[in-house]
Amino acid sequence: MKPLIAILALAVLALGPVSLQAAGPAVPLDRVNVDVTNQASLQRGAQLFFNYCVGCHSAQYMRYSRVGDDLGLTENQLIQSMIFTTDEEGELVAPGSLITNAMTAAYGEEAFGIATPDLTLVARVRGQDWLYSFLRSFYLDESRPLGVNNAVFENVGMPHPLWELQGWQEKHVDREGNVRLQVVEAGMLSGPEYDRAIRDLVTFLSYLAEPMQAERQRIGMYVMLFLLVFLGFAYLLKKEYWKDVH
């Protein structure tokens, strides 16, 4: 009995920090269920990322060509739809290049008060739900230098990169202190369409942070299947060994 109690005690200890973390940030995050095996979603997300984010953010631990291969794009498609950065001579960078840009840390600090962070690993640092909520939580705020704030990341230095798509929101706080964001100026997309676009973008960021995860999940399925089949054989073997022992 004693070992059992010890194991239970250890389990409770191990769970402790997890339940503490669940207290979470002030604004509750919306959950997003991304599927990194969904190539169409990844492609749409990549399109958004290269059109709206790479001007300021790099993803310098990843190469364009790897993204092209993993997302099932031909080299031509990759060059036409995703490579917009140029080298010193003004030529488009080669598909084998790392995803960098011309934004220096010094320029970032001058323009936004802070150097723009690299986004290769951001999905692992912040988590998918945080990114999904953050990118949907910009609101108008006269008191900020760029006239925009974020309910998930208060006083963020980043302007709303997707205002054309989402439009502009205003923040309302009700008497219980719940924050509600309301679109006051419509963008090109409806609310649900914008949410879907952000899900695609987060799917891509999640892939970017861990490009092997789709492959890992696929291999994991085979491993589980193998273990199941092996369990059957192990059981038969056990029956064979013990059949004369009573």
- Footprint of ligand HEC on this chain (CB under 6 A)? 52-53, 55-57, 108, 112, 114, 116-117, 119, 122, 125-126, 131, 135, 156-159, 161-162, 201
75 versus 164: smaller Cβ distance to ligand HEC = 164
Rounded CA-CA distance 46/53 in Å is 10
Nearer to ligand HEC, 42 or 156 (CB): 156
Nearest to 140 by CA among 130, 150, 132: 150
Q: For ligand HEC, which is the closer residue by CB, 69 or 118?
A: 118
The residue (of 67 and 119) whose beta carbon lies closer to ligand HEC is 119
Any idea how long the chain is? 246
Helix (H) or strand (E) holding 66: helix 64-70
Q: How far is the CB of 153 from ligand HEC (least distance, A)?
A: 7
Residue nearer to ligand HEC on the CB measure, 86 or 178 = 86
Minimum CB separation of residue 113 from ligand HEC in Å reads 7
Q: How many CB atoms lie within 10 A of CB 102?
A: 11
- Residues 185/160, Cβ–Cβ less than 8 Å: no
C-alpha span between 239 and 121 (Å, rounded): 50
B/e letters for 198-228, b = 16+ CB within 10 Å, e = fewer, are: bbbbbbbbbbbbebeebeeeeeeeeeeeeee
* Nearest distance in Å: CB 49, ligand HEC: 6
57 annotated as a binding-site residue: yes
Residue 122 or 209: which CB sits closer to ligand HEC? Answer: 122
Minimum CB distance to ligand HEC, residue 152 (Å): 10
Residue 53 annotated as binding?
yes
Residue showing tokens 């999940």: 217
DSSP state of 104: -
Computed from CA positions of residues 52, 102, 154, 139, in that sequence, does the dihedral angle turn out positive or negative? negative
**Nearest-approach distance from CB 103 to ligand HEC, in angstroms:** 8
56 is in an annotated binding site: yes
The Cα–Cα gap between 89 and 83 comes to 15
The CB-of-182 to ligand HEC minimum distance in angstroms stands at 21
Binding residues: 53, 56-57
Going by the annotation, the residues of the binding site for heme c are 53, 56-57
